[in-house]
Structures are given as C-alpha cells and as structure tokens.
Amino acid sequence: MNMFKPSVIVLALSTALLGCQQDTGPQKDKVTIEKNPYPSTYQPHSTTSTLITNATVLTGTGERINDADVYIVDGKISQVGKDLSVNADTTIDAAGKWVTPGIIDNHSHLGAYPNPGVESHQDGNEMIHPNTAQVWVEHSVWPQDPGFNRAREGGITSLQILPGSANLFGGRAVTLKNVPSETMQGMKFPEAPYGLKMACGENPKRVYGGQGVAPKTRMGNMAGYREAWIEATEYKRAWEQYDAEYAAGLNPDAPHRDIKLDTLRGVLDGEILIHNHCYKAEEMAMMIDLSKEFSYHAGTFHHGIEAYKIADLLGENGNCAALWPDWWGFKMEAYDMSLENVAIVDAAKNSCAVIHSDSDTTIQRLNHEAAKVMYSANEVGFDIKEEHAIKWITYNAAKSLGIEDLTGSIATGKQADVVIWDQSPFSVYSKAEKVFIDGAKVYDRHDSKYQAVSDFMLGQR
Amino acid sequence: MNKFKLSILTGALLSSSAVFAQVTAITNATVHTQTQQGVLENATVLIENGKITALNPKSFNADVTVDAQGKVLTPGLIGTMNHLGLVEVGAVSRSVDAYDKSGLEFDPSTAFNPRSSLIPYARKGGVTQNLSIPSLPWGESGVFMGLGFVADLSGEFGSVTDRKTALIVDLGAASGDGSRAAAVQAFAKKLSEQKKKLTAKKDKKADKDPSSEEKLLIDVLNGKLPVVASASRASQLLELIKLKEEFGLNLVIYGADDAVLVKEELAKAKVPVIVSAVSNLPTGFDALHAHLGNAGTLEKAGVKVILNVAGDGSHNVYQMRFNAGIAVANGMSHDGALKAMTVNVADTFGIEGGKIAKGERADVVLWTADPFEFNTRVDTIWINGEQVTTESRHDKLTDRYTKDSSMPRGYTK
C-alpha cells in the first residue's frame, strides 16, 4: 500500500483556496449568530390609568415628596407631584402610606433553586467544569416557584436570576419581571441585557481543587479567568475577521460556533454585564485589573463582604457592589463583615451601592434590609435619609442590571413598577399593600383577586 | 441526671472583677416584666450580686443609678437551637465543635468558647443567654443529635449556666432514604426498653448502676430532661404527641412549619413549639402551610411559642428581635413575641432568666425604644448583673475604614 501524505495535499489545497478566496463565485449565506433565541413574550397588559394620591413618595433618585400624587397611564409613569389635576380610571387614596419604585433584587436564585427544595429542583449550579459560560440559567427557571409570589408580596417587581457560584464562569444570568407566567419567556424582562456570573475565592477552588482539578488555589482561579478571556478574545477576533471578509465580498468559512465563547464574547462586546460573586477586597481589585487586561468592564461585585475596604476604587472604576447588610461568618471570606459596608461603599464618589438578597426569604423584605443599614450607619455618624436609602434596592439595582433607563425610579416616562406601602417601608412592621408592574396591579394585600397562587400550591391547603 | 445549675459558680468567677458587690439601680424604666405584673411604667429595678433584688422598692441605696428616662427595659433575650459558642467560621472545620456522630450522649458544652466573636455581636441584638445545640456532621442523618446546653453571653470564662438542658432529636423528614416511621420507632424503642428496665428494677434489686445513656433516658422518661424534636408535618406532630403521652415526655417541637393544622392538639397537650417567624416557604412537602402568620396563629390557639432564627442562627441570632417584629406585623401580639424570646424559653427549658422579678438572674436590656424596630438599639445591657459592651470586632473594622488617617489603614486601631 502506498503511504499517502494527506497533510501535504491538504496544505497544498488550502493554500490554493486561500490564494483565490473563491472571490469569483457567489457568496454562501452569511452565518450570523442569533443573539436572542429565547425571546421574551412578556406583554405589559395595562391600558388604563391609575392615580395614587397623597402619599409620601420616594422617587428612587434621592427625592422625597410628601403628600404627592403619582399618575400612571398606559403602563408608564406619566406625572409625579403635588395636587395633580388629572382624571384617572382608578384613584387610590394613599394618605398615610408610602410609595416607592418597585423593588429590584439583582441577586436571586428563584426558579433555579425553587421551593420545594427537592432533589429534582437543584438546577442552579452546573458543577461539572470551572468554566460553564455555555449554560443559561433561564433554561433552569421554574416559573411556578412559589417564591416568586412571596417576593411580589414584598414589593419585588424585577429580579435577576443568577446561576450559582461553584464555577469561575457559572453561566448567563437573566432578568425577569416578577409576573405570574407559565413560561420563563413570559417573565423575561424584554429589554434587559444578559448577565454573566463569575465567582472569585473559596467556592471554585474548593469545588474543583477538592477533585484534583484546577483551580485549587486563588492563583489558579486567576489563571482560569485569564485563559478563558484569551480564548474568548481569539474567538471574537475570528468572527470579526469573518464578518469583515464577508462584508468585503469574499466567501470565508465561518468560525466554529461555540456557545461558551459566544457568552464571553458578549462581555467583550459590551453586550453582557458581569455579575461577579467576590467577597474580598484584594480579589475585587484584581478582578478590576483583569477586566482592564482584556478590555471589558468588571460589572457588579456581589456579596462583597469587604467592599468597604476599597470603596473608592469601586467608585473610580464604576463598579456596583451588591451587598448584604449583615450576613457573615459562614466562611472565612465572609469573616470581615461591617454593618456599615453598604453605607461606606455608598459614600464614595460615583458609587453604586446595592442591597441584594441571594435568599428566597430576605428577597421578601429588601426594604427591611435597607432599613438595617440606614439606621446602623446613622448610629455611627452617617446621615442617610429614607429617600437616599431606597436607591439601594431600586435605582442602583436597576443600574447594576443595565435597566435604569426603564425602571427603578418614579419619573415621567419610566415603566410604572410601583409599590404602595402601608407605612414607612423602613419600619419592621411595614408591608407592601399594592404592587404594580408596568401599571398593572399584580398584588393587593386586601383583595385576594390580586394574590397569585403557584400551580404547586393549588389544592394543597 | 443532675441538672447542673452553674450560675452560682459563674457568679463566683465573675466576682473577681471587683465591682461585683455593688448595687445598681435602673430608674424610670418602662419595665416589661414578663410576669403577671405586666408592664410597669417609671419603675425601678435593683440589681445586686447578679440577681434582681427588688422591683419598685420603697427606698434604695445604690452605688450606680441609671436613669432610663422612660426607655424600655426587658429581660435579656434567649437564643435557641443554634451553635453559638461552638462555631467561629462555618466553613472552617477546626473552628466548629457542634458536629459529632456520638449521638444521644454527645454533650458539646465543654467546647463552648466564650471568647468567640459571635458573642459580643449577638449582644447587639439584646441576647443575653443562648441554648446551643449539637448536630450530626454534614451529610449524616440520624435521630439523636445530642444534648443542648445554656450559656450566658457575658463572654466570661465559666459562662455555661446549664448543661444537659435538653435532648435534641430529629424526627422529621429523613434526609437520606430513611422513613419518618423508622425515626419515631427508633426513639420509641429506646424509651420502651429503658422503661422495661426500670420496671424490672422495681421487681428485683438492680445489680449495677445505670449507664450514662440510661441515666439520660431515665430523665427523659421522668420529664426532667426536655426533648426537642425536629418535625414539621402535621400528622407527624400528632405521632409525637402520642409519644409524649405514652412516655411522659417533656416534649418541645422545633420547625413545626405545618403546626397550625394541629394547633389545638398542641395547645391541649401543652407542647411548646420553636418556630422561625420568617419561615413562609414550602421548603418541602412537610411545610405546605408555612406562613408569616403562623407564630400569631399558634399564640392565639394557646400554644407556647418560642421564636428563633433559622438558617445560620449562630451568626444571625442578633436578628431575632427583628423577626419578632415581623411576627407582630403578621398577627402575633407584641407581648407574646417578647415572651417568645424570654420567659417562654426559660420556662420550657427550666433555666433562670427571662423575667424581671425579684430573685431572677439580672440579665436585662435597656432599649432606646421599641425593641423590635430597626431604629432602636441596645442602650445598655446587663448580664449576670454586670454591664457589658455590645462592641464587636465588626465595629473595629468600621472604625478603621471610616477614620481619616495619614498612615496606611493597617495602623488604625
């Protein structure tokens, strides 16, 4: 048998192809990547007008207006101010009550780690490889998680669902409108950008190092991120080259499609926002440098127990920090808790302090979480008012999710995501009375017609 | 089994700190006595030698007088069902002493670390005593966890005030492949075997002393040693009430998410329940009735309710007062919620404290306003008659990173 040397032939052929680039033939169809293959089907359904009168209004942008009215038309905030003279289909007397923007939690696992927390519901952490940027948590969301209803009863109108923190790259996050729906798409916030979950510190190195697989150390974590970004940079370049050659009338072969690298490339292109589980000051500082090394923005740091140690750096670099008021001590990287963490981060120039839950329980009372921080900080010399503190769970959370132009504040033209509270939401006794999403009433504490029940809970009581 | 009442010993140890013999008077306080005296306005409380020596005395001589200016004085709150003093950092195994496989006889009290940083932090929440409990190691399941104990949160050596306070058992949903029925049977079998031995002994002279496990079981059978059983499904709770009646148990239920379905039975059988006020999710098929209103519903039905902090209740026990506020917002009485963190705990476990009355442990907290509100803080706290600080290392960290300094922060102390 003759031994062919196929590699030589292939090389010769491909040189010939490159030489002529098929520039004489018709172009093949352009290969494009569908960036929104699971599109939102959520439709705001309010076409009526609502006037809320005489409330203490916290706008979410730092303002407090006493005895104010909020006028909602066609799902949008139309006017805010005192003594509005408008006609509305529905008028709600909110004297003695408080009105805030809908509460936003940028760190939830509802639907992915739902209740009941049975074995078959553990869909939040693809713990098979330190880089699972290819998974999208929206594919794990069970819309019947009763936790969505409980959260709505606490005023949550939008929330980001994140994959877990076992991996350096945990996968894509999704932002939802907190409306009852049979499908994830029916909740999906139509205009919200995707997020990418990254994780620093103990979790990835414990999960993989324990299996004798990298990363085993914090330096291994950093190497893992850098290798992934190098690969993503090359992938981005390959697609850009393909696009450019095609645009030049050539007939190039499209690069091999890789959904893991699609997500990382989305970050490099500025289309996907980083949400980085990261506790420690020195690690957050390195993640900022990492983002500069590969030309993307480091996004929002989540948990950030030590964010107060680098508050100025976070402000200078435009990072949001999504924090708990007081969780601590469950692991070493959560040991240096300060009850004033949020307040110290918030006080820095250009800051973006957010209070998040990461909990199916505290998501129901983010207003209480903000209250804890405000009062605790004021005890040690801060001077934080309710109209400012509400930003941590409304406007700043929206900013972290890239939706601050759409929701997160009570201002003309914004989506009418609004909560009416029975009293100051900074009291332990406060409760959300009515919740609106895009102008539609989605919850009413005093009217069972507006109290959604999950399929799972039907007939169980 | 002897219940070790160690407060006298603790007092002796504390007396080395010179000021012990002094008399403290707290005047003009709004005193929530948690006794039949109810709430007393403009009241005076005298403290001496770690005890409350008088309430509204006609006259008094005090070394230290604290004018409460009408502020609220309550008994110190008592945490339950956590690992306070047995854990520093959850995921640092060598800082954790709560987990062991030795079962029924496991008494973790000698590992209690009064210098743990969790203890001053817990005091920020007005917590002065705590029932710490053991658990099985992560991933293990079984019926017998071991023995809970009580410590005061003075941070002093020798602050364990009661050992072998309760036997902790898990009779709820098995985490592995086991059955609820098997868990109850295993527990019932231990009890009936011990009961048989006792009956046999009455017939003929015992030829040997009971083993340490037998001693514990004897105390369970005579009701001296409370049994805290984790369980949530309502039908399971009824089974446990049967066990209580059959064996004369001093039964306490922990978890109890579906307890509202059998609230009358629990009230009639005088079974206290320990619940988290914020547990309102159907975490499993045993918790379909979890609801923010449950603490109030149980209270109204006449069940003795104890509020605790679920989840990581060791690091977060300071939040207990806020959870009480949430319970009140959802139907519990304010006084009932305070009782659920003070006198109900003391009475259920037969420990000192939880009341402001003559002769009681001087664990009292002066609050700037309503103890459950976020804008209220602990003004002053006394444990065993001594004024103690609420400052913890967390405050040091805050100070370091908020104070201006021309030097690196590492020099700010």
Measure the CA–CA gap between A52 and A65, rounded to whole angstroms. Answer: 13
In this complex, which of B89, B319, B373 lies closest to A329 when CB atoms are compared?
Answer: B89
Q: Which residue, among B45, B56, B53, B57, has the nearest Cα to B21 in the 3D structure?
A: B53
Cα distance from A132 to chain B (closest Cα, Å)? 25
The enclosing H or E element of B298 equals: helix B294-300
Using DSSP's 3-state secondary structure scheme, residue B148 falls into strand
Does the pLDDT value for residue B92 go beyond 60? yes
Beta bridge partners of B131: B80, B150
Prediction pTM value: 0.94
Of A59, A34, A32, the closest CA to residue A386 belongs to: A59
Hey, are the CB atoms on B278 and A361 less than 8 Å from each other? yes
Q: Are B98 and B134 in contact (CB under 8 A)?
A: yes
Residue B7 lies in a domain: no
Q: Is residue B128 part of a domain?
A: yes
Q: In terms of CA atoms, which chain B residue is nearest residue A348?
A: B402
Residue A208 to residue B23: CA distance in whole angstroms? 60
Q: What is the dihedral of CA A338, A341, A343, A346, to 10 degrees?
A: 160
Are B328 and A429 in contact (CB < 8 Å)? yes
Mean pLDDT of chain B: 93
Cβ of A330 within 8 Å of Cβ of B90? The answer is: yes
Which chain A residues have a beta carbon less than 8 Å from that of B318? 326
How far is Cα of residue A163 from the mean position of the Cα atoms in its chain? 11
B118 touches chain A (CB under 8 A): yes
Residues of A in contact with B234 (CB under 8 A): none
Sign of the Cα torsion B47, B53, B56, B57 reads: negative
In a domain, B224, yes or no: yes
* A328 residue type, one letter: W
Q: Which residues of A touch B322 (CB under 8 A)?
A: 368, 372, 428
Nearest CA in chain B to A429: B329
Contact B231, B171 (CB under 8 A): yes
Q: Return the pLDDT at B9.
A: 42
Measured CA to CA, the distance from residue B59 to residue B67 in angstroms comes to 15
pLDDT of residue A12: 41
Report the chain A residue with the minimal C-alpha distance to residue B321: A428
* Whether A365 and B326 lie within 8 Å, measured CB to CB: yes
Q: Do B325 and A429 touch (CB under 8 A)?
A: yes
**A residues 313..372 contacting B (CB < 8 A):** 326-332, 334-340, 344, 360-361, 364-365, 368, 371-372
Nearest CB among A118, A329, A364 relative to B118 is that of A329
Binding-face residues of A in 198-237 toward B, CB within 8 A = 202
Does B91 contact A at CB distance below 8 Å? yes
Task: Count CB neighbours of B40 within 10 A.
Answer: 17
Task: Please indicate whether, in this complex, the C-beta atoms of A150 and B284 are within 8 angstroms of each other.
Answer: no
β-partners of residue B130 are: B79, B151
Inspect the interface and report whether the beta carbons of B282 and A329 lie closer than 8 Å.
no
Q: Which residues of A touch B88 (CB under 8 A)?
A: 329
Tell if the CB–CB gap between A380 and B88 is shorter than 8 Å. no
Q: Which of B218, B197, B216, B199 is nearest to B208 (CA)?
A: B197
Assigned domain for B412 exists:
no
Reported as a single tens digit per residue, the pLDDT across B165-187 is 999 999 987 655 688 899 999 99
Asked if B237 reaches chain A (Cβ–Cβ under 8 Å), the answer is no
Q: How does pLDDT run across B7-20, given as a tens digit for each residue?
A: 444 444 444 444 45
Residue in chain B nearest A364 by alpha carbon = B278
Report chain A residues whose CB lies below 8 A from the CB of B284: 116-118
Which among A117, A375, A428 is the nearest to B283, CB-wise? A117
**Band (B55; pLDDT cuts 50, 70, 90):** very high
Chain B residues touching A146 at Cβ < 8 A: 281-282
In this structure, is the dihedral angle defined by the CA atoms of residues B90, B91, B95 and B98, taken in order, positive or negative? positive
Check A427 against B316: CB less than 8 A apart.
no
Work out the number of other CB atoms within 10 angstroms of the CB of residue B38.
Answer: 10
- Domain with residue B138: its CATH number is 3.20.20.140
What are the angstrom distances between the C-alpha of B75 and each of A324, A398, B40, B186?
A: 29, 43, 13, 39
Q: How far is A336 from chain B (nearest CA, A)?
A: 7
Q: How far apart are CA B108 and CA B165, in angstroms?
A: 11
Q: Tokens 């009408």 map to which residue?
A: B70
Please write down the HEC assignment for all residues of B7-20: HHHHHHHHCCCCHH
Tell me, yes or no, whether B286 lies in a domain.
yes
What residues have CB less than 8 Å from B242, skipping those under 6 apart? none
Do the chains contact at B289 and A461, CB–CB below 8 Å? yes
Nearest CA in chain B to A375: B375
Given a contact cutoff of 8 angstroms between Cβ atoms, the answer to whether A348 and B107 are in contact is no
Query: Cα–Cα distance between A338 and A332 in angstroms, integer?
Result: 14
Distance of alpha carbon A195 from alpha carbon A183, whole angstroms:
20
Whether the CB of B186 is below 8 Å from some CB of chain A: the reply is no
Residues of B in contact with A371 (CB under 8 A): 374-375
**A128 and chain B: CB distance < 8 Å anywhere?**
no
pLDDT on residue A6: 42
Does A146 sit within 8 Å of B282, measured CB to CB? yes
Could you say which of B91, B288, B326 has the minimum Cβ distance to residue A330?
A: B91
Is A117 an interface residue toward B (CB < 8 Å)? yes
- In degrees and rounded to multiples of 5, residue A345 shows phi and psi of -60, -45
Selection from A377, A193, A159, A198 nearest residue A301 by Cα: A198
Give the ipTM: 0.93
Q: Is residue B409 part of a domain?
A: no
Asked whether the beta carbons of A355 and A324 are under 8 A apart, the reply is yes
Residue B406 included in any domain: no
Per-residue pLDDT of chain A (461 residues; tens, 9 = 90+): 444 444 444 444 444 444 444 455 688 999 999 999 999 999 987 889 999 999 999 999 999 999 999 999 999 999 999 999 999 999 999 999 999 999 999 999 999 999 999 999 999 999 999 999 999 999 999 999 999 999 999 999 999 999 999 999 999 999 999 999 999 999 999 999 999 999 999 999 999 998 999 999 999 999 999 999 999 999 999 999 999 999 999 999 999 999 999 999 999 999 999 999 999 999 999 999 999 999 999 999 999 999 999 999 999 999 999 999 999 999 999 999 999 999 999 999 999 999 999 999 999 999 999 999 999 999 999 999 999 999 999 999 999 999 999 999 999 999 999 999 999 999 999 999 999 999 999 999 999 999 999 999 999 97
Q: Which domains does chain A have, with CATH numbers?
A: 102-409 (3.20.20.140)
- Collect all residues with Cβ–Cβ distance below 8 Å to B262 and sequence separation of at least 6: B234, B237, B238, B241
The span from the CA of B116 to the CA of B88, in Å, is 6
CB contact under 8 Å between A429 and B329, yes or no, is yes
The Cα of A340 is separated from the nearest Cα of chain B by a number of Å equal to 7
The number of C-beta contacts closer than 8 angstroms across A and B is 118
Tally the domains of chain B. 1
- A residues 429..448 contacting B (CB < 8 A): 429-431
| Minimal-distance CA residue of chain B relative to A310 | B401
HSE at residue B349, side-chain half, CA atoms within 13 A, is 40
Q: Specify the pLDDT at position B201.
A: 72
Q: Would you tell me how many other CB atoms lie within 10 Å of the CB of residue A223?
A: 14
Residue A408, phi-psi category: left (phi > 0), alpha (psi -120 to 50), beta (remainder): left
The residue count of chain A comes to 461
Domain that holds residue B176: 76-198+209-354
Residues of B in contact with A380 (CB under 8 A): 395, 398, 402
Q: What is the pLDDT of residue A408?
A: 98
Residues of A in contact with B319 (CB under 8 A): 326
pLDDT of residue A20: 44
**Contact state of A339 with B394 under an 8 Å Cβ cutoff:** yes
Q: Give helix A281-293 / helix A218-247 axis angle, nearest 10°.
A: 20
Q: Within 13 Å of residue B338, how many CA atoms lie on the same side as its CB?
A: 25
Evaluate whether residue B243 is within a structural domain: yes
Of B91, B372, B397, the CB nearest to A338: B397
3-state secondary structure chain A: CCCCCHHHHHHHHHHHHHHHCCCCCCCCCCCCCCCCCCCCCCCCCCCCEEEEEEEEEECCCCCEEEEEEEEEECCEEEEEECCCCCCCCEEEECCCCEEEECEEEEEECCCCCCCCCCHHHCCCCCCCCCECCCCEHHHCCCCCCHHHHHHHHCCEEEEEECCCCCCCEEEEEEEEECCCCCCCCCCECCCCCCEEEEECCHHHHHHHHCCCCCCCCHHHHHHHHHHHHHHHHHHHHHHHHHHHHHHCCCCCCCCCCCHHHHHHHHHHCCCCEEEEEECCHHHHHHHHHHHHHCCCCCCEEEECCCHHHHHHHHHHCCCEEEECCCCCCCCHHHCCCCCCHHHHHHHCCCCCEEECCCCCCHHHHHHHHHHHHHHHHHHCCCCCCHHHHHHHHCHHHHHHHCCCCCCCCCCCCCECCEEEECCCCCCCCCCEEEEEECCEEEEECCCHHHCCCCHHHCCCC
